[in-house]
Amino acid sequence: MDIPSKKKQRHIKNTRKDKVFDIVNYGLAGLFLLIIIYPLWFIVIASFSDPSAVSGGRVWLWPQGFTLDGYRAVLEHERIWVGYRNTIWYTFTGTLIGLAVNIPAAYVLSRKDLVFRKFLTWMFLIVMFFSGGLIPTYLTIRDLGLLNHWLVLVLPFSVSIFHVVVARTFFQTSLPSDLWDAASIDGCGNLRFFFTIAVPLSKAIIAVIALWTAVHHWNSYFNALIYITDVNLQPLQLILRQILVGNELMMQQSTGEAAIIAIRRATIMRYSSIIVSTVPIMCFYPFIQKYFNQGVMIGAIKG
């Protein structure tokens, strides 16, 4: 008699505790979502609002004085579109080159029967720990005639040690070596094996690395800052830098009628240019998401 009631009591106590736990957990999750979403939501509503309402602090939940002026200003800003076109091209070619360079290298380094495997692996690892640094790299690029050439943004720095290591781990753990043994006995060469068997079996890791590379190219500005001075070759991020970061300096330093007009124009574009430049790359992610669930990152941990 005594024992079952005790058991029951304990069970009830636990569910009550678990309920409290759930409330706290979902409560914190809600708070966290608010902290992530509200600052972004603020940018969205500000981009549709009258700039004077934004600077007056009247925009906080919905757009005030609804207007598309910000987007119109972006549409009319020619350099944004030049940057946009360049960035799309750099992202596209950069991702292709990145995959073409890193995935085969990762596969080769995953092969246990590779002669010079240790040497080649070290050749990749050393780069992670030691580098020539900014100026020697700059001089190399200059000597090779790549300054102000679009290739400098997609080719020279396309080897990513991190991507190679992650993909190599994936090949090691999910591509059984028996597969190669069987194929080679049947007379399949290395190239054919890689392209017709290894690559199709590794779509998940290729998709993930493609996403990483594409996001990197879409968002980076450093190489363009260093190596590209031709305005027609500048990627979107450098132009955004002028709109978003450059104007702050202008605002602090300049006065006068012309400056006020220029600042007003820039203020209108601030919010809309953020939306226009960031939404496309954010839309990428949901397409790739399912591959993350296929345990790609677990492979990465083991590496």
How many residues sit in the footprint of other proteins (CB under 8 A)? 101
The reply on whether position 48 binds other proteins by CB under 8 A is no
Q: What is the per-residue binding string for other proteins in 222-251, x denoting contact by CB under 8 A? A: x---x----------xx-xx-xxx--xx--
Cβ closer to other proteins: 1 or 245?
A: 245
Residue 182 binds to other proteins (criterion: CB under 8 A): no
Would you say 52 and 70 are in contact if contact means Cβ atoms under 8 Å apart? no
Is residue 54 at the binding interface for other proteins, with CB under 8 A as the rule? Answer: yes
Interface residue with other proteins among 138, 206, 265, 291 (CB under 8 A) is 138
Residue among 81 and 292 whose Cβ is closer to other proteins = 292
Q: Could you give the angle at the alpha carbon of 221 between the alpha carbons of 209 and 297, nearest 5°?
A: 20
124 binds other proteins (CB under 8 A): yes
CB 72, min distance to other proteins, A: 20
Least separation in angstroms between CB 40 and other proteins? 7
Query: Of 144-173, which residues contact other proteins (CB under 8 A)?
Result: 144, 155-159, 164
Of residues 93-122, those binding other proteins (CB under 8 A)? 100-102, 104-105, 107-109, 111, 113-115, 120
Task: Work out whether 134 is an interface residue with other proteins (CB under 8 A).
Answer: yes
In the complex with other proteins, the residue whose CB is nearer, 88 or 281, is 281
For other proteins, the binding residue among 12, 23, 29, 182 (CB under 8 A) is 29
Residue 40 in contact with other proteins, rule: CB under 8 A: yes
Q: Is 12 in the site for other proteins (CB under 8 A)?
A: no
Please tell me whether residue 89 binds other proteins under the rule CB under 8 A: no
How far apart CA 267 and CA 278 sit, in angstroms, is 18
Under rule CB under 8 A, which residues in 198-217 are in contact with other proteins? 215
Q: Is 271 in the site for other proteins (CB under 8 A)?
A: yes
- Which of 25/232 has CB closer to other proteins? 25
SS3 string, the chain, reads CHHHHHHHHHHHHHHHHHHHHHHHHHHHHHHHHHHHHHHHHHHHHHHCCCHHHHHCCCCCCCCCCCCCHHHHHHHHCHHHHHHHHHHHHHHHHHHHHHHHHHHHHHHHHHCCCCCCHHHHHHHHHHHHHCCCCHHHHHHHHHHCCCCCCHHHHCCCCCCCHHHHHHHHHHHHHHCCHHHHHHHHHCCCCHHHHHHHHHHHHCHHHHHHHHHHHHHHHHHCCHHHHHHCCCHHHCCHHHHHHHHHHHHHHHHHHCCCHHHHHHHHHHHHHHHHHHHHHHHHHHHHHHHHHHHHHHHHHHHHHHC
